[in-house]
């Protein structure tokens, strides 16, 4: 378990954090609040709904921006993928 304290030291560790729970309890809000916090501490964060990202990846391959998109993902300190597992 990762303890998220007053400093965002967890950002520098290669870990995944999964926030789960029923619809409407504030999972996205918590994730975005953490992203806001790490941005205020000079880190980078990117929020993306997973279904949208999965649509953008083949489009990026088609228009030649795939490598640029992957580089942006790789350089981001905190990547938030929301709505994971809602669709097959």
What is this structure's pTM?
A: 0.78
Q: How far is CA 48 from the centre of its chain?
A: 6
pLDDT of residue 1: 45
Walking along the chain (88 residues) 10 residues at a time, the average pLDDT comes out as 62 85 92 93 93 94 95 93 78
Domain residue limits, the chain = 27-82
The reported pLDDT for the residue numbered 6 is: 59
What sign does the CA torsion over 30, 35, 41, 43 have? positive
Between CA 63 and CA 66 the distance in angstroms is 8
The reported pLDDT for the residue numbered 88 is: 64
User: Would you state the pLDDT for residue 87?
Assistant: 64
Rg (CA), the chain: 14
């Amino acid at each position: 378990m990762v303890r998220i304290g007053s400093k965002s030291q967890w950002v520098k560790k290669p870990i995944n954090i999964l926030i789960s729970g029923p619809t409407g309890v504030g999972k996205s809000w918590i994730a975005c609040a953490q992203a806001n916090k790490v941005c205020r501490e000079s880190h980078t964060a990117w929020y993306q709904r997973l279904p949208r990202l999965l649509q953008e990846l083949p489009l990026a391959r088609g228009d030649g921006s795939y490598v640029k998109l992957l580089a942006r993902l790789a350089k981001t300190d905190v990547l938030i993928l929301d709505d994971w597992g809602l669709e097959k």
